[in-house]
Amino acid sequence: MDDQVFVLFGGSGDLAKRKIIPALYNLFLNDKLPHGFAILGLSRKSMTRESYQEFILSSIKEYSRHSSDDMGKTTTFIDHVYYLSFDACEPNDYQSLKTSLETIEENNYLPQNRIFYLSLAPDLFDQVALYLKEYSVTQSSGWCRLIIEKPFGHDMASASALNERISSAFQEHEVFRIDHYLGKEMVQNIEVLRFANSIFEPLWNNRYISNVQITSSELVGVEKRFDYYERAGALRDMVQNHMLQLLMMVAMEPPSRLNTEAVRDEKVKVLRSLRKFTSSDVTKHIVRGQYASGNMDKHSVVGYLDEMGIDPQSTTETFIAAKVFVDNFRWAGVPFFIRTGKRLDKKETKIVIEFKNLPERLYFNQNGKLLTNLLTIHVHPTEGISLQLNGKNPEQDGVVSPISIDFSQETKDLPESYERLIFDAMRNDSTFFTRWDEVKLAWKWIDPISQSFADGHPLYTYEAGSSGPKEADELIQTDGHTWW
């Protein structure tokens, strides 16, 4: 990995504190940062370098894999940290940024390789990118890269406009759009499971798979992000990015090579094959919900409309269930059921592949049926896979019982999403970042759905702490299935 400077916009913010700084520190602990590196934190706060270093220390102590034995290493890491008080909207500050970078690079004998991480409000993304170019901060003798958080636009038009502005300052290969789900261990493992095991690939199609269920349920409510969430809702917040990414990983064809563009090309093809929804499809295939008050772990919680900062008339959805089709040769006729929501009964992300049943002729369980074979990819909180099979019941002849074969990753000290993704960006591997055509096609698919929502698609309520509106169960039951 090349020596480089990591410039952290929003350097004193919540994401920086909880995720980005701990990720950089963990990489350092694991000897994964280059020998020559510096971190330059930027924020509007007026702080000295020393007080920023204290902030970094508190973030490390609270959120990283730091232990008291690592104190020597921690001090060395902190010596690499610098700070500049900076207003992203103030052109003069870009001049100071350029000067600071040059000084840090010169004093530390670093090449002018610069990575800019925008942990900022999304409406600043394009402005910052343009100013970086206009004030020659990107004019370096080395390379420059830009890491951007979501959301990337609000619909296809705004995402295209944003992309156009960013691409006048950075080329596509220099832009790393983060979707933190792509940094999760088991999400990255889907490709390996599918393409490194001979037992799955022959079955991975509409001849043997009955349906696929992708669930990401959360315990938390809207929290303090009411401004953003009111405009986004579950559709834009979770489906446009994370849920579609999971779907792409399950549905993609094997890439011709294990290189970035080959993988991303295959994912894009899945988006191209997604069946577009007309407004009557939206009515039939999508259930949206909003949480009402309820009990979570014996505590009562308020409904969405009573949350701080939320319009009491709001029609923003906090839950979505959808039945989606990938219209290609492999998946013709196989429904993909997607489900995500806040204030549900558990925090869990998983993908269940349900196989078709054999003719029920020879073996049955106690109810006279054959249990379905399921392959479950557990993304969170456990990370692993389980395979549900039928086996002999030792006590009853001819009756079968479920057997589960389980594999669970040893999760202790496993790198977190941000750690994997920041490491990849630092070494210029954008495989697990979203390419512009992925973002664009995802919005293209989402836009008619948001239009139907705006036109008054029904919004059902569900009790906080439940598994979502009953209409979501009905959605899957009409096909004779049930949520696993």
The contact set with ligand BG6 (CB under 6 A) reads 216, 218, 237, 349, 380
As measured in angstroms, the least distance from the Cβ of 423 to ligand BG6 is: 18
- Of 380 and 481, nearer to ligand BG6 (C-beta) is 380
Round to whole Å and give the CA distance between 248 and 266: 8
Name which of 337, 309, 305, 287 is nearest 453 in CA terms.
Answer: 287
Question: Is 347 part of any known ligand binding site?
Answer: yes
DSSP assignments along 64-114, one per residue? SS--GGGHHHHHHHHHTEEEEE--TT-HHHHHHHHHHHHHHHHHTT--S-E
The answer to whether 11 is annotated as binding is: yes
In angstroms, give the least distance from the CB of 216 to ligand BG6: 6
Pairing of strands 209-217, 348-355: antiparallel
173: annotated active-site residue: no
Q: CA neighbours within 13 Å on the CB side: how many for 51?
A: 9
Nearest to 331 by CA among 390, 274, 393: 274
Please identify, using beta-carbon distances, which residue of 150 and 285 lies nearer to ligand BG6: 150
Residue of 35, 80, 154, 242 marked active site:
242
CA distance between the termini of the chain: 43
294 is in an annotated binding site: no
Is 246 annotated to bind ligand? no
17 labeled binding residue: yes
Q: Is 342 annotated as a binding residue?
A: yes
If DSSP states are collapsed to H, E and C, what string results for 413-426? CCCCHHHHHHHHHH
Residue-wise DSSP of 92-104: HHHHHHHHHHHHH
Distance of closest approach, residue 152 Cβ to ligand BG6, in angstroms? 12
Which residue, 74 or 349, has its beta carbon nearer to ligand BG6? Answer: 349
Task: Using the minimum distance from each CB to ligand BG6, give the nearer residue, 349 or 431.
Answer: 349
> What 3-state class would DSSP assign to 479?
coil
- Chain mean position to CA 180: 4
- Nearest residue (beta carbon) to ligand BG6: 237
| Residue 31: burial class (beta carbons within 10 Å; 0-12, 13-18, 19+) | exposed
Let me know: does 308 contact 302? Beta carbons within 8 Å: no
Find where tokens 């479950």 sit.
376
Please state, in angstroms and rounded to a whole number, the distance separating the CA atoms of residues 403 and 285.
Answer: 33
Closer to ligand BG6 at the Cβ: 105 or 438?
438
State the nearest-atom distance from the C-beta of 242 to ligand BG6, in Å. Answer: 6
In the complex, what is the shortest distance from the CB of residue 336 to ligand BG6, in angstroms, rounded to a whole number?
19
Cβ atoms 230, 310 nearer than 8 A: yes
For 131, the token pair is 């100013």
Q: Is 309 helix (H, G, I), strand (E, B) or coil?
A: coil
Residue 298, marked binder: no
Count of Cβ atoms closer than 10 Å to residue 423 Cβ: 20
Residues 100 and 84: beta-carbon distance below 8 Å? yes
218 assigned binding-site residue: yes
Q: How far is the CB of 349 from ligand BG6 (least distance, A)?
A: 5
Q: Find the shortest distance in angstroms from Cβ 19 to ligand BG6.
A: 10
Asked if residue 73 belongs to a known ligand binding site, the reply is no
CA atoms of 133 and 467, how far apart (whole Å):
48
444 annotated to bind ligand: no
Both tokens assigned to 75: 């001090």
Distance of alpha carbon 440 from alpha carbon 442, whole angstroms: 5
Residue 15 annotated as lining a ligand binding site: yes
Bond before 122 cis per omega within 30 degrees: no
Q: How far is the CB of 395 from ligand BG6 (least distance, A)?
A: 41
Q: Which is nearer to ligand BG6, 209 or 301 (CB)?
A: 301
Can you tell me the distance from the alpha carbon of 219 to that of 298, in angstroms, rounded to the nearest whole number? Answer: 13
Catalytic positions are: 242
Q: Which residues belong to the annotated binding site for substrate? A: 180, 184, 218, 237, 342, 347
Binding-site members for NADP(+) are: 10-17, 44, 150
